[in-house]
Amino acid sequence: MTPTIDAHVRLDTHPTHPSAVTAVLTGTQAHIAHLGLEAADWTVVADNVLALVRIDHEEPHWAQDTAKRLSAEGITVEITPRLREAMAEEWTWANYPMLWCTRSEIREVSNQAQKIYDDIRHGQLLIHAHAHDGHTTVAVGTYLHRNGKSVYLHGEDHLRQIADTFDSPAGAMVAFEKIHGAEMRPGPAPLTETERAAAEARTPLACTTAKPEPVHPAPETVPAYLADAGDHDAILDAFLDAHGDWEKWRTWSDETTHAIHESQTLRIERVHEAHPRETAWTVAAYETPVSDRMWHLTATGTAPAPMLQALLNHLADGDGWDTALGSPVDEKTVTAATKPLADAGWQHTVDGRWLRWTNASQDAGVQFDAFAAQQPNGSLAIWSIWAGPTIDQPTWTIHASPYAPASMIADLAEELAHGTGTRRFSPSVHRQPPRLTTTAPAIATTVARPQASRSR
């Protein structure tokens, strides 16, 4: 029988970091839990308070693992409802380069990257030099344990891997300089945004007791991309009530509502019980009632009410959508679709196949995939409209396929850049980082790796 230990651990989401987890310890034997948490790389941030902070944003998963181990040792563990929700959430990275990986395999890759990061942070892996290979950061270093193995590192954050090993630091440096001599810089690379955020989350907390959230907070006016999602079902019902040229019907299971325009060439599918960050809306257009689909648009269940309203307003305009097959997207089309963003002064950048427009605070944007646009009959989305911490971790997304009307994208861009809405909760209330559940394929990166004899 497992002995009972007078220690209580309360696990909760971190008050300022979107994915980190805190543990508040109480009880006369709290030091036993404290030792176990520190051994699992939890960081002390206040008296009897520790935090789990990772660069792969998998803290809820590993906190759940910690909870099981502590419980098995006889320690009482309490998990708050919002952390339980985060633990149950399944997600994946956008544009993840290892398309063949399952969710568990992605988690293993991320965990290996986390171990490398921890070894560097704790001074167990000394980085001699770094460079940028045109795609990502590469580095060379030597472990101060593991028999002094030297390694060639490729990638950043959750994608960093050991790409090669060497018998000696000298051999590693010679091989690294041969490949990256022109771009080579001494020491470790500057911290990434993710690493900086993790470092901030490990700093001491000012207080250990979270303030109670207001029961009925007053709504505030915010940009459209920060607005509440509202009641999506009510938004659709109001649209259908106001437009008699649309007919509504629900599936026998009552899980999905379909709305079809009287022309039968434009259809809306609304999935009522979809996960908040999975596809909850699909708009599809057809050249004729019996032809193949010409273009489609999807939106997640977290899409703000103003953005959905802008989309439905566009569909309500008889001249606002075109189901005829047109030409593949060209520069003129892209310019027309993104004009509202250019007029608003949003930053325009080019990153390989992706053209991006982002606002000044970098928490909302539009992405155009030039590679997907060259495959108009493919399944990839060419437009991604998003808001959240990063495009890889959006709070909500809207995706559109090739041939989606530029006027529709322009209307959504106009709302994104200039629209407003209401929000009842501060962003700090939403602790768990947004997760994108639809993975957009990315170009696999082939790297030139230094050749050296392998350590045995």
- DSSP code string of 295-328: EEEEEETT--HHHHHHHHHHHHSTTS---S--PP
The domain spans of the chain are 8-88, 103-201, 220-424
Output the pLDDT for position 306: 96
Output the pLDDT for position 85: 87
Per-residue pLDDT of the chain (456 residues; tens, 9 = 90+): 556 788 999 999 998 898 999 999 999 999 999 999 998 889 999 999 999 999 999 999 999 999 999 998 999 999 999 899 888 876 767 677 888 888 888 889 999 999 999 999 988 999 999 999 988 999 999 998 767 899 999 999 999 999 999 989 999 999 999 999 889 999 999 999 999 999 999 999 864 444 444 455 567 899 999 999 989 999 999 999 999 999 988 665 568 899 999 988 999 999 988 877 789 999 999 888 888 888 999 999 999 999 999 999 999 986 545 544 455 688 899 999 999 999 999 999 999 999 999 999 999 999 999 998 888 777 789 999 999 988 888 999 999 999 899 999 999 999 999 999 998 754 433 333 333 333 333 333 333 444 444 333
Whether the CB-CB separation of 400 and 408 falls below 8 Å is answered with yes
The reported pTM is: 0.50
Output the pLDDT for position 208: 40
Architecture of domain 8-88 in CATH? 2-Layer Sandwich (3.30)
Output the pLDDT for position 256: 87
Output the pLDDT for position 434: 34
Output the pLDDT for position 251: 62
Output the pLDDT for position 52: 96
| Single-letter residue type at 48 | N
- 293 phi and psi angles, rounded to 5 deg: -65, 135
N- to C-terminal Cα distance for the chain? Answer: 44
Torsion, CA 440, CA 155, CA 132, CA 387, rounded to 10: 40
- 373 phi and psi angles, rounded to 5 deg: -65, -25
Cβ neighbours of residue 398 closer than 8 Å, sequence gap 6 or more: 297, 298, 299, 300, 303, 307, 311, 383, 384, 385, 386, 412
Output the pLDDT for position 426: 43
Q: What is the CA radius of gyration of the chain?
A: 25
Q: What is the largest CA-CA distance in the chain?
A: 76
For 88-106, write each residue's pLDDT tens digit.
876 767 677 888 888 888 8
| Single-letter residue type at 449 | R
For 146-173, write each residue's pLDDT tens digit.
678 999 999 999 999 999 999 899 999 9
Output the pLDDT for position 443: 30
The tokens of 25 are what? 């310890």
Output the pLDDT for position 290: 85
Output the pLDDT for position 415: 97
